[in-house]
């Protein structure tokens, strides 16, 4: 009788272990598919940005506007129109070649008829579209005639505008250019790594605040959607796409200490790599001063000092687990 009971217990434990193994396999497979879907979604940059903006605007609509459906769509369309105008003006300002014609080859003066015609049509189409858009915006503001049942509050426009500016490519490029021109010492001329990380961190912060406040509106579907698209996906993009590369670059420079302001002033010289003045610098073991970004680029190619060819020995940072 005891043997039968023991066999029964052993059989039940075996069945339980099989069930746990099956459940674990199902969960692992579901996790792999979920992560694969996330990766695919992250690769579709334009679609993910549009979804993020629409979700954020919808949450702000629930929080700050009452009985104004579709206000988020109207606001998003208006901001996109403004972004188009800014992008067109930016293109005109930065344009170097104002010729409307396309030559057959770079070294030839013979014009390509088909390509020249296409370029002229496209340029005039963009110019006319820009003029019509600007005139329409001026008429709307001048006549003070808005859409029916669309009267957004100032706080709604400010918050959504801040989020839109920090997510739209044309404004992100302008912010990156401004940050690069300012040359803050803290960034050590590595604005290309810091700028997108800062903007993406601001996306996550704004989305987290609005998502938390939106919980009290009772719209849990929108909260869950925002948690996935505007927080989780963006955090994964920030971690894998920006923070990890920045961490790797800083680890590469960890063996070269940051020069103090007095040391840079006493050195009173230009960077030997880019030949521009230095307000901040890294010091090599051979006592040479370089911009951090310039030194980082050189270390990608060689472990020797660009001036005296001193051989650097990089000691990787030990991690305590």
* Ordered per-residue pLDDT tens for the chain, 321 residues: 555 555 555 555 566 677 777 778 878 888 788 777 778 877 888 888 888 999 999 898 888 887 777 788 888 888 888 888 888 888 888 777 767 666 666 666 767 677 777 777 887 787 887 787 777 777 666 555 555 667 788 888 899 999 998 888 888 888 888 887 877 778 777 888 888 888 889 889 999 999 999 888 888 888 898 998 889 888 988 888 888 888 888 888 888 888 888 888 887 778 888 888 888 888 888 888 888 888 888 888 878 888 887 787 755 544 433
- The pLDDT tens digits for 230-267 are 898 889 888 888 888 888 888 888 888 888 888 888 87
pLDDT score of 56:
92
d(CA 312, CA 304): 6
| Total residue length of the chain | 321
Residue 264, Cβ neighbours under 10 Å: how many? 19
Residue 22, Cβ neighbours under 10 Å: how many? 10
Residue 276, Cβ neighbours under 10 Å: how many? 12
d(CA 164, CA 86): 13
- Ordered DSSP codes for 53-107: HHHHHHHHHHHH-SS-TTHHHHHHHHHHHHHHHHHHHHHHHH--------BSSTT
Domain ranges of the chain: 46-252, 256-321
pLDDT score of 303:
82
Q: Do the beta carbons of residue 68 and residue 156 sit within 8 Å?
A: no
Strands 282-283 and 289-290 turn out to be antiparallel
Q: Do the beta carbons of residue 170 and residue 87 sit within 8 Å?
A: yes
Q: Do the beta carbons of residue 204 and residue 231 sit within 8 Å?
A: yes
Q: What tokens appear for 281 in the block?
A: 């610098």
pLDDT score of 212:
92
- The pLDDT tens digits for 120-167 are 788 778 788 778 777 777 766 655 555 566 778 888 889 999 999 888
pLDDT score of 321:
35
| Burial readout 221-250 (b: 16 or more C-beta within 10 A, e: otherwise) | ebbebbeebbbebbbebbeeebbeebeebe
Is the CATH code 3.30.40.10 the one for domain 256-321? Answer: yes
Residue 185, Cβ neighbours under 10 Å: how many? 13
Element (H, E) at 290: strand 289-290
- C-alpha neighbours within 13 Å on the C-beta side of residue 213: 13
pLDDT score of 110:
65
């Amino acid at each position: 009788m005891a043997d039968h009971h023991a066999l029964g217990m052993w059989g039940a434990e075996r069945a339980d272990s099989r069930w746990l193994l099956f459940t674990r396999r199902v969960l692992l497979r579901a996790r792999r598919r979920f992560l694969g879907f996330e990766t695919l979604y992250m690769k579709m940059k334009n679609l993910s940005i549009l979804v993020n903006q629409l979700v954020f605007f919808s949450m702000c609509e629930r929080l700050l506007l009452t009985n104004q459906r579709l206000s988020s769509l109207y606001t998003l369309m208006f901001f996109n129109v403004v972004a188009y105008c800014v992008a067109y003006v930016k293109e005109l300002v930065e344009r170097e070649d104002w010729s409307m014609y396309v030559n057959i080859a770079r070294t030839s003066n013979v014009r390509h008829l088909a390509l020249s015609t296409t370029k002229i049509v496209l340029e005039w189409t963009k110019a006319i579209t820009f003029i019509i858009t600007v005139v329409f915006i001026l008429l709307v503001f001048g006549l003070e005639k808005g859409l029916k049942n669309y009267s957004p509050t100032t706080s709604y426009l400010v918050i959504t505008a801040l989020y839109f500016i920090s997510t739209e490519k044309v404004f992100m490029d302008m912010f990156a250019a401004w940050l690069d021109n300012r040359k803050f010492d803290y960034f050590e001329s590595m604005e290309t790594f810091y700028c997108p990380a800062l903007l993406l961190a601001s996306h996550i912060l704004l989305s987290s605040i609005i998502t938390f406040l939106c919980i009290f509106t009772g719209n849990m579907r929108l909260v869950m959607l925002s948690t996935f698209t505007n927080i989780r996906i963006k955090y994964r993009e920030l971690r894998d796409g920006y923070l990890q590369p920045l961490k790797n670059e800083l680890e590469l420079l960890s063996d070269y200490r940051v020069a103090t302001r007095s040391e840079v002033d006493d050195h009173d010289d230009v960077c030997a790599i880019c030949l521009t003045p230095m307000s901040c610098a890294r010091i090599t073991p051979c006592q040479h001063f370089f911009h951090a970004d310039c030194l980082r680029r050189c270390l990608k190619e060689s472990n020797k000092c660009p001036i005296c060819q001193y051989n650097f020995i990089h000691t990787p940072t030990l991690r305590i687990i």
